[in-house]
A = this chain, B = another copy of it.
Amino acid sequence: MEPTVDPGQAAPGERPVTATPGSATMADVAKLARVSPATVSRALRGHPSVTEDTRRRVLDAAERLHYAVSPAASRLATGRTGTIAVLVPRLPQWFYATVVAGAGPSIHDAGLDLLLYELSDAAVRRRFFARMPLRRRVDGVIALGMYMDEVETEALHRLHVPVATVGEREVAGWWNVRIDDVDGAAKAVRHLVRLGHQRIGMISSFSPEGYAFRTPIDRRAGYRQVLTAAGVRYAPELEFSAPFGMEGGGTAMAELLSGPEQPTAVFCESDEVAFGALRTLRRAGLRVPLDVSVIGFDDHDMADLLDLSTIAQPVREQGRTAAEMLLRSLTTPDAKPEHVVLPTRLVVRATTGRHATG
């Protein structure tokens, strides 16, 4: 059937296969495989209507030419960008970096690119939402801990691509994965109550830049709920709020200690806050947990090192879940956005126990 003589081109073996590797085009592959560019395109993407024989010829030729599809051309032709943007407030924070790391493999396994944007301060953030560099550039967005206001939310909506948020309030039309912060906080405080504590303080935190995080609100709610349910007196003077981070935790603990009524146990909104609190206690010469029990929230990498009792949340999984929800919405554009709540878990270590005087 197939003539063994080649009408136009030189024999395959004579082609300068190694010249400017990576710059071969689909037409080059087509010539070498003796098919049309259209068939190359189909063969390369596994279209069913291609003979096993020609597919092999095409793959062979592509291999020999070190051919790689031009994403730009492909994107222009299809209209799809093959790209997911991930928005994160501060990458060096363990939580965010871990969520991103959790999302990466799912995105890459699907053959998509991961575009990273760290919006670390108010100025950067404002510029980002004003210029919206994602326009025409991404097929979907994952937003971590961004707690966007009306304007920002609207700006993202205008991209007309699916959005998945992690650890935020639920936005209509967007996918969301989070934990139950109220319930998680309740677990922590119940643990303290069951150890016999009656004076239980809390250190929550706020964004120095004024973003309306929902997490502190929910965790405070869980704290108060349990106190009320357990019949433990809720004392406003045992509740402190400080800027997010270790420093804030440290100073808030100092204030707690200098207050009229020293707590025997403190629930810290996050492990980082707890780290700072622990340092203050150590410097104050107080024994943990004999004098003061401390429990955090997150199960930070370092929590184990410091023997900190805490509430563990699945961090990496939140990233993975968000990515997979988003990917699903790309293949099924009319899928209804889901809101997933992942479980938390009490981790008892050495910073919680009964008070020395009972």
Contact = CB atoms under 8 A, between A and B. Distances in A.
Pick the 3 closest A-B CB pairs, nearest first: A72-B75, A68-B135, A97-B97
A118 B104 contact: yes
Nearest to A71: B137
A276 B302 CA distance: 10
Contacts of A86: 116
Interface string A124-156: 100000001101110000000000000000000
A91 B81 contact: no
A312 interface: no
Given A72-B76, A92-B94, A305-B246, A120 B101 contact: yes
A279 B305 contact: yes
B72 A100 contact: no
Contact of A21 (B70, B91, B158, B301): B158
Interface residues of A, number: 49
Interface of A: 21-22, 66, 68-73, 75-76, 81, 86, 90-94, 97-98, 100-101, 104-105, 108, 113-118, 120, 124, 132-133, 135-137, 158-160, 246, 275-276, 279, 301-302, 304-305
Nearest to A135: B68
A22 B101 contact: no
Contacts of A136: 22, 68-72
A275 B108 CA distance: 34
A275 B70 contact: no
B158 A22 contact: yes
A252 B71 CA distance: 48
Nearest to A68: B135
* Interface hub of A93, A101, A279 (most chain B Cβ within 10 A): A101
Given A92-B98, A97-B97, A113-B137, A22 B159 contact: yes
A331 to B, nearest CB: 20
A114 B93 CA distance: 19
A76 B90 CA distance: 33
Contacts of A279: 305
Contacts of A75: 71-72
A199 to B, nearest CB: 26
A106 B154 CA distance: 27
